Amino acid sequence: MLEEAELLLQKYYGYPKFREGQTKIISSILQKNDTFAVMPTGAGKSICFQIPALLFEGVTLVISPLISLMKDQIDSLNSLGIPATFINSSLTPRVVDERIHQASLGAFRLLYVAPERLELESFVELVKSLDITLLAIDESHCVSQWGHDFRPSYRQIGPFIKRLPKRPVVAAFTATATPEVQEDIVKLLALQKAQIFVTGFDRENLSFSVVRGENKRDFLTHYIAANHQHSGIIYAATRKEVDQIYNLLIKQGYAAGKYHAGLSDGERIRNQEAFLYDDYKIMVATNAFGMGIDKSNVRYVIHYNLPKNMESYYQEAGRAGRDGGPSECILLFAPQDIVIQKFLIEQTVYSPVRKNNELKKLQTMVDYAHSPRCLRRFILEYFGEERVPEECGNCGNCNDQTELSDITLEAQKIFSCIFRMHEQYGVTMVADVLKGSNAKKILQQRFNTLPTFGIMKETPLSEIKDRINSLVSEDYLQLTQGKYPVVKLQPKASPVLKGELKVMQKTIQRKAKLEQDDSLFETLRKLRREIATREGVPPYIIFADSTLSEMSKYKPTTSKELLTIKGVGESKLGKYGSMFIDAIANYSEASK
């Protein structure tokens, strides 16, 4: 059946063979095994259940958490010539009944539904009339309360499967899950003898960097000015911050939209559609409000504030470069970000156990922001990836050309101060003592009499705090759990204090502007936009940026040559092939 699967891949999607990892997952599903797959965003997880859906008899039911993501997937499938539809709260009961009826007659191969539907008795009775041969669960991390986006409705999936007249093959997918969350998913979805595949979390086309100690607005203004021709997303922690960034961009003349829970449903839909259709180049959104977009040509994602955990960060950053093209993921960090996220955790998480877990995850993000090591390695190790290289050569730390500096003396001063304060205080208090602050609490505790009082008075307070956090990220120090973390010395600090070990560190530099597009690419992109406007779909539904890049590189002039371009299948060749061949020929003629 795998040979048939590859023929369908070429026919509908325009790719000659499956990506690494896809083959084993698809083979497992085709052998009718329950399957659990962890695949990074952009690795093609949708194909892993869409291809089997074309080979299985009956209907494939897809559980998807977001209405916008469903519509995106259906538009894409229909453009490929694959019959699919969705059912969600935007439809009337009559339309729902009609779509279920059509599915029972074989009109659709895939039926997308929101998890909340499974809680409705009427819906459960309706779908019993369908021959469901495959149940695919997207964003399956939502089933675990230890995941970063727990959705109680996902807990209904297990009971729903038991109520079906015939148990289908069950396939669950996620992009971000630690080993503990992976175990939770398999258990809570009651997967039977599941075949588990972790294809790796690495996204080699993404470049990660952290910017500290700079004016965020200045950085944003300069970066967007240098990359104004590219699509990008800016994430912020609060609605207020989103509104302020949005207003700044509008005043500067950029085509931008905003997206947060304070807007009406209509405003959010209009703004998202404008971004998908390239009417807006920039979308400013809250971290907490997932956009669920499948836009392939996002060239950069900037986090204006520190996200609350690594799972959220990697998923949001992963919205860049879904077409495989080089893209940047930049985190702008300021100490105030930590205060904001702690406040949000306190306001939204009520279980003491879960709250401590969220605070621990937040500390991991703080460590990431201060780490001098390879940022890709930091991320991959967090998700349990094995055999990770020391340096990736494609992150802000690895690409930094500055030399390592010896900060042993500063580290000794910090360690000595913490020791003399009996390891009972937090980062701010330690930094204030080192700076020589005459704050009331310091004088009350008589810390002004310590030999380390004011020993770093020439260093800006923010730099002292940064240095302490950096030493935490490198395991010289540890922060205790809870609302008010205390700094503790780790075993690694002892040889430094004794003068037996040096501490080396380098500063972080940000990357230059993204690579410019060539003129043929722009010509093809203009044609794609005209077609998309005429057909009423987002431009990337016609062809991804990566496909246009290949066209501009190889300049195909026949249908046969165009079929060799990745992303050009038979359906799209028939619909759009002649138009793009003509555009390439005209460009080549004009260039002579």
Confirm whether 548 is domain-assigned: yes
Cα dihedral 558, 564, 569, 575 in deg (nearest 10) = -20
What is the rounded distance in angstroms from the CA atom of residue 237 to the CA atom of residue 232? 17
Amino acid residing at 123: F
* CA separation for the pair 251, 203 (Å, rounded): 34
Let me know whether 281 and 309 are in one domain: yes
Q: If residue 85 lies in a helix (H) or strand (E), which one and from where to where?
A: strand 84-87
592 residues of the chain, pLDDT tens digit each? 788 999 999 999 988 889 878 999 999 999 999 999 998 877 788 999 999 999 999 999 999 887 767 877 888 899 899 999 999 888 888 999 999 999 999 999 999 998 988 888 988 998 999 999 999 999 898 888 766 667 788 899 999 999 999 999 999 998 878 888 889 999 999 899 999 998 878 888 999 999 886 788 888 999 999 999 899 999 999 999 999 999 999 999 999 999 998 999 889 889 988 998 889 999 999 875 555 567 888 999 999 999 989 988 998 998 899 888 899 999 998 877 888 888 888 888 878 888 888 889 999 999 999 888 899 999 999 988 877 888 898 998 888 755 667 889 999 999 999 999 999 999 999 999 999 999 999 999 999 999 999 999 999 898 898 889 888 877 899 888 766 789 999 999 999 999 999 988 764 444 444 554 478 988 998 999 999 999 888 888 899 888 998 999 889 989 989 988 988 988 899 999 999 999 999 988 887 6
Distance CA 292, CA 72 (A): 9
Kindly state the tokens that stand for 514.
């993204």
Say how far residue 364 (Cα) sits from the centre of its chain. Answer: 17
**Last residue of one domain, picked from the residues 465, 480, 505:** 505
Report the sign of the C-alpha dihedral through residues 121, 125, 128, 130, in that order.
negative
Q: Tell whether 450 is covered by a domain.
A: yes
**Residues 376 and 415 occupy one common structural domain:** no
Tell me the β-bridge partners of 303.
Answer: 235, 331
Element housing 504 (H / E):
strand 504-505
Domain assignment present for 392: no
Q: Are residues 353 and 485 in the same domain?
A: no
| Measured distance CA(592)–CA(588) in Å, rounded | 7
Report which secondary-structure segment, H or E, holds 233: strand 231-236
Q: Judge whether 41 lies within some domain.
A: yes
Per the domain annotation, does 511 fall within a domain?
no
CATH of the domain at 537: 1.10.150.80
374, 419: one domain: no
Alpha-carbon distance of 227 to 209, in angstroms, equals 16
Instruction: Give me the phi and psi of 141, to 5 degrees please.
Output: -60, -20
Burial (0-12, 13-18, 19+ Cβ within 10 Å), 166? exposed
Q: What is the CATH number of the domain that holds 212?
A: 3.40.50.300
Q: What is the DSSP letter of 395?
A: B
Q: What is the CATH number of the domain that holds 417?
A: 1.10.10.10
Domain span at residue 165 reads 2-198
Q: Which amino acid makes up residue 508?
A: I
Ramachandran sector of residue 190 (left: φ over 0; alpha: ψ -120 to 50; beta: rest): left
Do residues 27 and 48 share a domain?
yes
Is 398 domain-assigned?
no
For residue 92, give both structure tokens: 């009337």
Please give the order of strands across the beta sheet that includes 231-236: 206-212, 327-333, 298-303, 231-236, 282-286, 256-259
Last residue of a domain, one of 141, 164, 198: 198
136 and 115 part of one domain: yes
Is there a contact between 282 and 257 (Cβ–Cβ < 8 Å)?
A: yes
Query: Is there a contact between 508 and 371 (Cβ–Cβ < 8 Å)?
Result: no
Shared-domain flag, residues 292 and 376:
yes
Is the entire prediction scored with pTM above 0.95? Answer: no
In a domain, residue 394? The reply is no
Closest to 576 (Cα-Cα) out of 562, 590, 566, 555 = 562
CA-closest candidate to residue 414, choices 394, 430, 395, 399: 430
- Nearest CA-CA partner of 146 in 187, 194, 186, 178: 178
Kindly state whether residues 48 and 142 are assigned to the same domain.
yes
Q: Which amino acid is at 227?
A: N
**Are residues 15 and 130 both part of a single domain?**
yes
Q: How many helices and strands (H and E) does the chain possess?
A: 25, 17
- For the stretch 491-496, contacts whose Cβ atoms lie closer than 8 Å and that sit 24 or more positions apart, written own/partner, are 493/411, 493/415, 496/408, 496/411, 496/412, 496/415
Do residue 335 and residue 221 come from a single domain? yes
Residues with Cβ within 8 Å of residue 590, at least 6 apart in sequence: none
Same domain, 230 and 343: yes
Domain total for the chain? 4
Please identify, among 327, 349, 382, the residue that sits at the C-terminal boundary of a domain.
382
Residue 246 is inside which H or E element, if any? helix 239-251
Establish if 66 belongs to a structural domain.
yes
The burial of 205, by beta-carbon neighbours within 10 Å (0-12 exposed, 13-18 middle, 19 or more buried), is given as middle
Q: Are residues 191 and 210 in the same domain?
A: no
Task: Write the burial class of residue 591 (CB in 10 Å: 0-12 exposed, 13-18 middle, 19+ buried).
Answer: exposed
